[in-house]
């Protein structure tokens, strides 16, 4: 009797785990971005004039010196505050660069934003979220020289790696590694 009860409980637990696994939204699968053998990125920060071209990941291992350089370049340009950028965001940018087939650097409109910068910007504009993922190093606003902003937007949507916003009047695309969603157009 005890054995069948145990077996039934084990079966129900396993079935519950399978059901939970199937219930995971498609956005979670989009976040399963797997690093390739070697990943490089190039940036130009439009506010500071700084540029960087670096290989930030080799064989699935992030290179700390490159990550530190990226974090510095993507710092809050208003107060110099630096944040650890989410490696998943960088992997997403690498995938986007590959999809666009361009060697051009990403032009950075906004990377990390400190809480004080974000609060100031959200007071000025309804387009700035009060709990922006920029404050967690999980979002970036970009454009790519020579590539139409709508093409960048479409390629970013195809990555299914998080939120994608199109800001045609300001000529940039927002990318984040939050839940999959879209806005703009």
**CA nearest neighbour of 73 among 96, 46, 102:** 46
Query: In a structure prediction context, what are the per-residue pLDDT tens digits for the chain, which is 185 residues long?
Result: 444 444 555 444 444 444 334 333 333 434 445 556 899 999 999 999 999 999 999 999 999 999 999 999 999 999 999 999 999 999 999 999 999 999 999 999 999 999 888 888 877 776 677 688 998 999 999 999 999 999 999 999 999 999 999 999 999 999 999 999 999 86
pLDDT confidence of residue 82: 97
Q: How far apart are alpha carbons 78 and 94 in whole angstroms? A: 26
pLDDT confidence of residue 131: 81
pLDDT confidence of residue 185: 63
pLDDT confidence of residue 126: 65
pTM comes to 0.78
pLDDT confidence of residue 92: 97
Domain ranges (residues) in the chain: 1-25, 31-183
| Nearby residues of 109 by Cβ (< 8 Å), 6 or more positions away | 46, 141, 142, 143, 170, 172
pLDDT confidence of residue 7: 53
47: helix, strand or coil: coil
Architecture of domain 31-183: 2-Layer Sandwich (3.30)
């Amino acid at each position: 009797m005890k054995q069948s009860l145990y077996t039934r409980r084990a079966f129900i637990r396993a079935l519950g785990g399978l059901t939970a696994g199937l219930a995971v939204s498609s956005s979670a699968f989009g976040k399963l971005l797997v690093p390739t053998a070697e990943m490089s990125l190039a940036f130009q920060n439009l506010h500071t004039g700084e540029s960087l071209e670096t290989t930030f990941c080799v064989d699935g291992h992030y290179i700390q010196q490159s990550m530190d350089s990226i974090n510095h370049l993507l710092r809050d340009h208003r107060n110099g505050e630096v944040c650890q950028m989410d490696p998943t965001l960088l992997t997403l940018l690498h995938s986007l660069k590959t999809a666009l087939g361009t060697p051009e650097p990403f032009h950075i409109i906004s990377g990390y934003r400190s809480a004080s910068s974000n609060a100031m910007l959200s007071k000025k504009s309804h387009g700035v979220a009060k709990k922006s993922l920029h404050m967690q190093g999980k979002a970036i606003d970009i454009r790519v020289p020579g590539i139409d902003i709508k093409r960048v937007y479409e390629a970013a949507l195809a990555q299914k790696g998080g939120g994608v916003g199109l800001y045609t009047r300001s000529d940039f695309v927002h990318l984040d590694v939050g839940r999959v969603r879209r806005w703009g157009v």
